[in-house]
Amino acid sequence: MITLHHVPFSRSFRVLWLLEELGLDYEVRSYSIRDGSLRTPDFLSLSPAGRVPALDFGEGTVICESGAIVQYLCETYPDAGLAPGPGPADRARYLEALGFAETMASLIEFLNLQHVFLRDPADASPVVIKLTTARLRATLTGMEAMLEGREYLLGERFSAADAMMGFNLFAVPYYVKMEPFPRLRGYSERLASRAAFRAARARDGEQDFYDRDFYPVPEV
């Protein structure tokens, strides 16, 4: 049995979503960032950095880091057609999208730290928040352009790159207003309408990160 070690509404959702797209049987073991469960010896034996996701295939095969897991799953189940192999013209775009997804996610993670997870909120830096939010908005502007004439990142077909990038777009609206990005809004709606996405959300669990719908940039 495949076991996904998971925190609700974190990057491990990418893997949860992809497992549903692949139609695999799996178990979800949930943790919280706040309660120390990611620092226990048992969990650290699976993920030495104390991070989710960690995907345990049994028999000693455990993989960490969402991007690596997504690529491994696509290579292990190539008949699903969720990633172009070496050679096709859209392979370069696919790899670019995986990297771009992590660039965007790292900005979201930094804003999470500044807005949500600092022990003392007074330690947050308005200047850093303003600059990071501007960088995040710039990635959205670039992605809006990438989607011109496309239903998904690779064109008309869904791929694992959409699970990687798409998850970010469900966290971005906590920090950036989406009204200026009509293509991204439509893209997010298409992703959220997928049966596998809905099934993954049903197994995701409740997030305990955000206590409001939007975190504005503080005044400098």
Sequence ranges of the domains in the chain: 2-80, 90-204
- What is 90-204's CATH number? 1.20.1050.10
Residues 73-110 have pLDDT tens digits of 999 999 999 999 888 789 999 999 999 999 999 999 99
- State residue 46 phi and psi, 5-degree precision: -90, -40
Q: In which residue are the tokens 């077909």 written?
A: 157
Q: Which of 159, 13, 180 is nearest to 84 (CA)?
A: 159
Judge whether 2-80 and 90-204 match in fold: no
Confidence band for 58, pLDDT divided at 50, 70 and 90: confident
Residues 3-43 have pLDDT tens digits of 999 999 999 999 999 999 999 999 999 999 889 999 999 99
Pairing of strands 54-58, 61-64: antiparallel
- Domain 2-80: state its class: alpha beta
